[in-house]
Amino acid sequence: MGIDEVQLNFNATTLMMMNILIGFIMFGVALDLTVKDFKRTLKTPKPFLIGLTAQFLLLPAFTFLLVLILQPQPSIALGMFLVAACPGGNLSNFLAHLGKGRTTLSISMSAVSTLFATFMTPLNTIFWGSLYGPTNDLLRTFMISPVDLLMTIFILLGIPLALGMYVNYRYPEWSQKASKWMKRFSIVFFILFVLGALAANFGYFIEFVGMVVLAVFLHNLLAISLGYFSARSFGLEERDRRAISIEIGIQNSGLGLILIFNFFDGLGGMAIVAAWWSIWHIIAGLTLASFWSRRTPEQYKEESEGQVA
């Protein structure tokens, strides 16, 4: 059986637990957000707008070009389109801070991109998937209601985000303590989430993961590079470049997994792409952030000025 025919199986209870877990993770992220984070983007909109454009326009478009070059199996290609359409992941703020990026920009991007994802994620997935012949044929085999897809994303992202921000507004002291705890354990929750997604289908994962390793590596490298160089091309400061790069490179592939199981019947290539991305972007993100943590943004500025001189 090929990867396009494989379907990862989940019972209703497991799927419900996964839905609750990703909602819990998003609630924890929102405990650190306030309305000021959104207002901050209005005061300095340029970095935010560049980052959002790279997130929802450039990455899906360049993913389409990458798919044309690699010509992967249709289910793998559709998984790449879906991951590219997801908002930034819940670890991006931590990694931006570790890599000496502008954490406030990362937080603002995470918050607003999560809101935008309620309609941009289904729109981008269906739009780009429909443009590529093999994935268009695959999409036709599923009865996908854009409204149902939008509502599911709203429930998974929008409601936990609103609740977390409300709790932060009403109980700021408790929220601050809980947010620190959530940040420390969010990576553990995320790993457990991925392991839970793979536990009942580990044989399929081991059998087919080799088919997606190169595609995910190139896709993630593309995302990180798009974020950094789009910010650089518009003359943004090094801290902003790092924040945008990490925000684009750390996609919410956990959300992607949930959507795959809810709307695509756990389609093999899609699920394995999202699952391996969940693992790989942690490795790539930590490696990049650790490298940047040893080089201050001021060093980059001094080197650039020295080259000009």
Hey, what domains does the chain have and what are their CATH numbers?
12-298 (1.20.1530.20)
**pLDDT tens across 88-140, in order?**
876 787 788 888 888 778 877 887 887 788 888 888 999 999 999 999 988 88
Which backbone phi and psi does 14 adopt, to 5 degrees?
Answer: -60, -45
User: Per the confidence metrics, is the pTM higher than 0.85?
Assistant: no
Q: Which positions ≥6 away from 20 have C-beta within 8 Å? A: none
Number of Cα atoms under 13 Å in the Cβ half of residue 255: 30
Distance of CA 279 to the CA centre of its chain: 12
Which backbone phi and psi does 296 adopt, to 5 degrees?
Answer: -70, 150
Compute the chain's Rg from CA coordinates. 19
Q: Which residues on adjacent β-strands are paired with residue 267?
A: 7
**pLDDT above 70 covers what percent of the chain?**
81
pLDDT of residue 309: 38
pLDDT of residue 148: 75
Are 165 and 34 in contact by the 8 Å Cβ rule? The answer is yes
Q: Which of 75-79, 122-126, 188-192, 294-298 has the lowest mean pLDDT?
A: 188-192
**pLDDT above 90 covers what percent of the chain?**
29
pLDDT of residue 306: 45
pLDDT-based confidence at residue 299 (cuts at 50, 70, 90) = low
